[in-house]
Amino acid sequence: MRDVCVIGLGLIGGSLLRAAHSIGRTTFGATTSEADADAASRAGFDVTTQVEAALSKAAERDAMIVLAVPLPAVEEVLRTVSRVAGHCVLTDVTSVKGPVLDSVRRRAPYAKFVGGHPMAGTANSGWKASNPALFGGAAWVLGVEHDTDLTAWAVVAQLVLDVGAHVVPLPADSHDETVARISHLPHIFAAILATIGAQGGPLAMSLAAGSYTDGTRVAGSSPALVRAMTEGNRDALLPIVDEALGRLGAARGSLASTGGLAVTVNAGHEGAQAFAASKDAERAGVRVSLSAPDARDGLIALGERGGRITAIEGDIAIGEVS
């Protein structure tokens, strides 16, 4: 089992360091946060504030490197990776995949890179919120591009599976378009609802109940994190926001002209039923040979159909789709 070097020890990086350690991997890491480094060291982890030193150790040991720094810090760390550990297996946990892939191609073109995004999180952040069980049962997207090194991919996938998550193989653009739909637009909508509600003053706050509480919950998230993920996904998010503007404008026009909202309300109800049905759907087993010539296409097809990989045995990825 390959050693694991985690750069950045916030909620996700810290949780991954703990989780990898708990399943018996040799782990070490670095963070520029003195407070997080102190806390992690006191908890018994091999952690430094010297990112370059940690990456050099990763190169010596041929460890896999996990970038768990915020998106704006990725480019700078990639420069150091390229200089001292450019041939290590490299992954990240950032919430957008296209921009990170572009950065890797520019800054660390020889890295054996596999983009990653665990669909897990809490409202809290930092090492103090880290939890080795954070990833249990979660979907963890792993990038598959035309030039992805599937040997490196399997190394990263094995760690993801070992810490309890399921692997969703996807190209970066497909990931980014999907999270714009199901995460970034919901965050923008929650912010707007919370703003419009609060403008109603104490009366609105006193009458707000279920629909408002649910619809605004994620507006309580850290503004810095919400901005990082939405702004970082600008290219994929803009067309989704346009779609929302179009649908809201159509609802407005229909309410003003005919007085009816049937199209809006019925489409939403069908969408809610489709989501509920997806949870109860029968699932069928799927196997993809990672050494087959069309392995990348097989992995992507599995991910695009809403499937997940739950195990790797030899060179066979074992998954399920509905």
Return the residues of window 176-205 that contact a second copy according to CB under 8 A: 177-179, 181-183, 185-205
CA–CA dist 102, 80 (Å, integer): 16
| 318 near a second copy (CB under 8 A) | no
Q: Which stretch binds a second copy (CB under 8 A): 6-14, 89-97, 210-218, 288-296?
A: 210-218
Q: Is 306 exposed, middle or buried (0-12, 13-18, 19+ CB in 10 A)?
A: middle
- Strand, coil or helix: what is 139? strand
- CB 134 → a second copy: shortest distance, Å? 13
Cβ proximity to a second copy, 126 vs 306, nearer residue: 306
Give the nearest distance from C-beta 15 to a second copy in angstroms. 16
Separation CA 269–CA 5 (nearest Å): 46
Spatial distance between the Cα atoms of 317 and 121, rounded to a whole number of angstroms: 26
CA distances from 65 to 8, 61, 217, 227, 318 (A): 11, 11, 34, 26, 25
Q: How far is the CB of 268 from a second copy (least distance, A)?
A: 2
Choose which of 60, 76, 102, 242 interacts with a second copy (CB under 8 A).
Answer: 242
Residue among 18, 216, 288, 309 that touches a second copy (CB under 8 A): 216
Q: Which of residues 113-172 bind a second copy (CB under 8 A)?
A: 119-121, 138-139, 141, 168, 170
Closest CA to 17 of 93, 122, 101, 78: 93
Q: Shortest gap between Cβ of 135 and a second copy (angstroms)?
A: 12
Within 226-297, strands assigned E span 284-289
**Footprint (CB under 8 A) of a second copy, residues 59-118:** none
The number of residues that bind a second copy (CB under 8 A) is 98
User: Of the two residues 182 and 316, which places its CB atom closer to a second copy in the complex?
Assistant: 182
**Residue 222 carries which DSSP code?**
-
Cβ 2 to a second copy shortest distance, Å = 27
